[in-house]
Amino acid sequence: MDIEFGTLDSLLTAIEKRLQDKLALDQARCFISDAIIPPELLDEFCVTISFGDGKFDEALFEGGGHLTLAERCSIYVGIFRTYRVDRNDQSRLAMISKEKGLFARDKRSVLRALLVDDPSDTPTAPWQPVYNNQQILRDDLLPVSCTRPQPAGPADGDPDHLYIVLTFSAYFDWSL
């Protein structure tokens, strides 16, 4: 498949759509955000997509100038799960429950959605973000890191969510 020259917004949109489709989430529970932690967490489970620093490929640019501008950037996927702070076992359940756990279910589901072409089958081929029916990335989406679970919640109240952030590296050509 040929590589489509893209933009950061086409990459973020492809990731957002993929997560919405594979995790059966609507736009209120899976969305692109300018912050990893949205100001209001409205649901029991939500996923945010945002971007971080990027680095332009100097060697490619030196070889072809603006016609070969490529960037490796960070993509952050925040996974948020509600828990009730008034129960002692809730944060534990929010992390490891097979039905609603950040690690037992949510992290694995996000990783499969973004790294495996057809997560319902035996994993064989990697998923590739596409734009205009052509892949956007030069390489596969690369998982880089995952944060430890952290509490989040309203600025004026107690935390009511646990969250983790998965960091991915994406390498793509710019269309100027």
CATH of the domain at 53: 3.30.2000.10
pLDDT band for position 6 (50/70/90)? low
Judged against a pLDDT cut of 50, whether residue 1 lies above it is answered with: no
Q: What is the mean pLDDT of residues 54-78?
A: 88
- The model's pLDDT over 132-155, given as tens digits with 9 standing for 90+, comes to 788 888 889 999 999 988 887 766
The domain of 66 spans: 8-173
Domains identified in the chain, total number: 1
Specify if 2 maps to a domain.
no
**pLDDT value at position 67?**
82
Q: How far apart are CA 168 and CA 114, in angstroms?
A: 10
Specify if 69 maps to a domain.
yes
Whose structure tokens read 């939500």?
46
**pTM for the model:** 0.85
Judged against a pLDDT cut of 90, whether residue 113 lies above it is answered with: yes
**pLDDT value at position 135?**
84
